[in-house]
């Protein structure tokens, strides 16, 4: 999957499937499953580091995980998620930090925000850095929203999101993530844009979908939003396996003869 392929997906109405990855094991698993776009999301602050939001994730942490995922992925597109304050303070910061993601092996970066971020996207695009936008419930603004709340429910909010989406596209964004907004609004945005929209809690009309891998596999059971569908229940399986292992060691059943060297 390349940036021009993304545009072809939009034209040919082929869904863009995106899943987050933070390590080599999952990067390989996703690739084996035919997932063509991996997002090294700053959601790692919550699902890997156990924090309540993404705000404390650093550039160094993101680059560490991006290098690992990009090193393991062979054919997929790797998108590096720019952490809080790595692109907001200045155009220079934004450019230098975006470049570090590409140097770490990412093929594109993602940043949150609407029209206010257009200038950053334009600058990155001008030097050959493909950018995914991210609109709606943008987790780095959680305190401004007063929690993880659906955005664009009022007529005014919806109008702003439509114009933000257009501003990101005009600035050169290659795709835009739409998070936690009414399905009808995501449909309007998807119809108006010529770049693909990737939904997460934004209904079925987007050009693609993204989920956090641990949510999708039923591994993470805290703070699971309505829009998550667990396609497996690995947390329950893992717990059962761990308890059995503990029991068998305690009872002297493990290791048995077949797991021992002679």
- Residue 109: φ, ψ to 5°: -120, 160
Q: Minimum CB separation from ligand KIV for residue 130, in Å?
A: 16
* Alpha-carbon span 107 to 131, nearest angstrom: 9
Residue nearest ligand KIV by beta-carbon distance: 41
- Cβ closest to ligand KIV, residue 94 vs residue 112: 112
User: Which position among 31, 75, 179, 222 bears the catalytic label?
Assistant: 179
Q: Cβ–Cβ contacts within 10 Å for residue 247, how many? A: 11
- Cβ closest to ligand KIV, residue 43 vs residue 151: 43
Q: Minimum CB separation from ligand KIV for residue 57, in Å?
A: 9
Instruction: Produce one character per residue of 37-62: b if its CB has 16 or more CB atoms within 10 Å, e if not.
Output: bbbbbbbbbbbbeeeebbbebebebb
Q: Quick one: which H or E segment has residue 85?
A: none
Q: Minimum CB separation from ligand KIV for residue 244, in Å?
A: 32
Residues within the interface to ligand KIV (CB under 6 A): 20, 39, 41-43, 81, 177, 179, 200, 210, 212
Beta carbons of 152 and 199 less than 8 angstroms apart: no
**179 tagged catalytic:** yes
Residues with Cβ < 8 Å from 183, sequence gap 6 or more? 202, 203, 204, 205
**217, 219, 215, 198: which is closest to 207 by C-alpha?**
198
- Cβ closest to ligand KIV, residue 231 vs residue 245: 231
**78, 79, 86, 80: which is closest to 55 by C-alpha?**
86
- Cβ closest to ligand KIV, residue 116 vs residue 241: 116
Q: Minimum CB separation from ligand KIV for residue 259, in Å?
A: 38
Residue with tokens 């770490």: 104
Q: Minimum CB separation from ligand KIV for residue 260, in Å?
A: 43
- Cβ closest to ligand KIV, residue 47 vs residue 254: 47
Beta carbons of 111 and 133 less than 8 angstroms apart: yes
Task: Tell me which residues are annotated as active site.
Answer: 179
């Amino acid at each position: 999957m390349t940036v021009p392929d993304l545009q072809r997906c939009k034209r040919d109405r082929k869904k863009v499937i995106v899943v987050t990855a933070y390590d080599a094991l999952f990067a390989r698993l996703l690739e084996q499953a035919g997932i063509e776009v991996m997002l090294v999301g700053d959601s790692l602050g919550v699902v890997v580091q156990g924090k309540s939001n993404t705000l404390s994730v650093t550039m160094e942490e993101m680059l560490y995980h991006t290098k690992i995922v990009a090193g393991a992925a062979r054919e997929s597109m790797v998108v590096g998620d720019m952490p809080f304050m790595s692109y907001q303070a200045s155009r220079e910061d934004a450019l230098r930090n975006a470049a570090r993601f590409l140097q770490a092996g990412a093929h594109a970066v993602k940043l949150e925000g609407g029209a206010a971020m257009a200038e950053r996207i334009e600058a990155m695009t001008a030097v050959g850095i493909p950018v995914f936008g991210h609109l709606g419930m943008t987790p780095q603004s959680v305190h401004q929203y007063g929690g993880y709340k659906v955005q664009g429910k009022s007529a005014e909010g919806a109008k702003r999101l439509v114009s933000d989406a257009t501003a990101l596209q005009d600035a050169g964004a290659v795709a835009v993530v739409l998070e936690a907004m009414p399905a009808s609004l995501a449909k309007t945005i998807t119809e108006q844009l010529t770049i693909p929209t990737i939904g997460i809690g934004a209904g079925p009309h987007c050009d693609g979908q993204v989920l956090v891998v641990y949510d999708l596999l039923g591994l993470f059971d805290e703070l699971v939003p309505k829009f998550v569908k667990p396609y497996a229940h690995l947390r329950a399986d893992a717990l059962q396996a761990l308890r059995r292992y503990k029991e068998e060691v305690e009872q002297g059943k493990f290791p048995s003869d077949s797991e021992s060297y002679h």
